[in-house]
Amino acid sequence: MARTPRGMRLHIGFFGRRNVGKSSLLNALARQQVSIVSDFAGTTTDPVEKPMELLPLGPVLFIDTAGIDDVGALGELRVQKTRQVFDRTDLGVLVTEAGNWGAFEEQLLDELQRREVPVVVVVNKVDRTPADPALLARLKERKIRAVETVASRGDGVLDLRQALLDSAPADFIDHPTILGDLVPPGEIAVLVVPIDKEAPKGRLILPQVQAIRDLLDHDAYCMVVKERELRSALERLKSPPRLVVTDSQAFLKVAADTPREIPMTSFSILFARFKGDLVSQVLGTLAIDRLKAGDRVLIAESCSHHPIGEDIGRVKIPRWLTQYVGGRLEFRTVQGHDFPEDLPSYKLVIHCGACMTNRREVLARLLRCRKAGVPATNYGLTIAYSLGIFERALAPFPAALDAYRQARGTAGKTSAQGSEEASRPDREGPVGTSPNVPPGA
């Protein structure tokens, strides 16, 4: 991978009315023409993204949005796209024209602050009209950083860069680890990577690449094998690995070949913790037991790939859940940044590992589900639960495992006891023993 993935970058969103200079500011920061600039209002339509390095902060993703005051039917669609950007914004830049602060700006500021997104206010075009001292004083009183600029000339851009550096969220600088806290320095993790028809040619998929890099960053050893080679690889090791991580689709095969005393989980479950809230998604998984024929289930994918063959989100998970429930369910799949407004019509939301988006967007989606009263889980958790190996897959995460046991009323039981109870036929359904589910599927 030559560049930092978008999902690992700090997302900086530019918001404001039409023609206040958002695109000019982005071009000045990037030192190139990223967005088209003209004197006509509404030049920017869909959000424009520009990945770059903002040193010394690191990799960022600038997002230029359409004016929030756009009008007409087409304008309303543009505004909807702009509002989607709120969900993934880590740091907001609210751009206003000198002498033109009003209700639109207050609404934008309130929206960003309601989401606890740090904000930098840019008062642009101060060469035409000086910035209002009263406005600057109010912003300072509210502890909101304000910068005066003339974007067309590049004036104030260095001040804006410094303001962005100073306002970056602490959790981006001290970002969580994928599995570095699970595998101590000098210890080894075994990563199981199936090579099937959906595997990209000549490379590994993003979660696998990021897991390898995270282990290297934490001075741990890493062994990468295919599922058919796992048993042989474990036998060759002089001491057992601290962790085995598998693609969720190979859960059954890997669970059978990994000694029970070795902790095991999946890339998708690791990313449920890394990109979202593992405990809430673990509890959301319990809703699978309440599903019945005819219920609607939403599948949310953060990337926009072209599905082929046995696609995990469109074929395998629907098949496993249908077998588990014992009746036909209604599935809907959304991709990219799309997320439906009619959440209450679904009985369960199943999210992918979200390797292609940032943590804030995933957390925003989980919050929307919670407000709508809809349980949410993810691919790896759903598969592990459906296959009857849920507790084993959660063993590396004591807090999540304890929350599950508390919800199940099995707190205090050993992992073996809990796993045995979770795998009883009346709770597992037909999936674990179905001849239609091959071990490596």
For residue 345, give Cα distances in angstroms to 315, 331, 368.
Answer: 22, 12, 13
d(CA 243, CA 3): 28
Pick among 3.40.640.10, 3.40.190.10, 3.40.50.2300, 3.40.50.11420: CATH of 188-269: 3.40.50.11420
The CATH class given to the 277-433 domain equals alpha beta
pLDDT at 307: 64
pLDDT at 435: 28
What pTM was estimated for this model as a whole? 0.74
Within 127-187, residue ranges assigned H as helices are 133-141, 157-167, 170-173
**Taking the domains of the chain in order of start, what are their residue ranges?**
6-173, 188-269, 277-433
Residues pairing with 244 in the sheet:
190, 264
pLDDT at 372: 95
pLDDT at 42: 47
| Omega cis (within 30) before 240 | no
Digitized pLDDT (tens) for each residue of the chain, 441 residues in all: 456 777 788 999 999 988 888 888 988 888 776 554 444 444 545 688 888 888 777 789 999 887 775 544 555 676 777 788 998 999 999 999 988 999 889 999 999 999 999 999 999 999 999 999 999 999 999 999 999 999 989 899 989 998 998 898 877 766 779 999 999 999 999 999 998 666 667 788 899 999 999 999 999 999 999 999 999 999 999 999 999 999 998 999 999 999 999 999 999 999 999 998 999 999 999 999 999 999 999 999 988 766 666 788 889 999 999 999 999 999 999 998 889 999 999 999 999 998 888 888 898 899 899 999 999 999 999 999 999 999 999 999 999 999 999 998 865 444 444 444 444 333 333 333 332 333 333
CATH topology identical between 6-173 and 188-269:
yes
The CATH class given to the 6-173 domain equals alpha beta
How would you label 295-326 residue by residue, b for 16+ Cβ within 10 Å and e otherwise? bebbbbbbeeeeeeeebbbeebbbbbbbbbbe
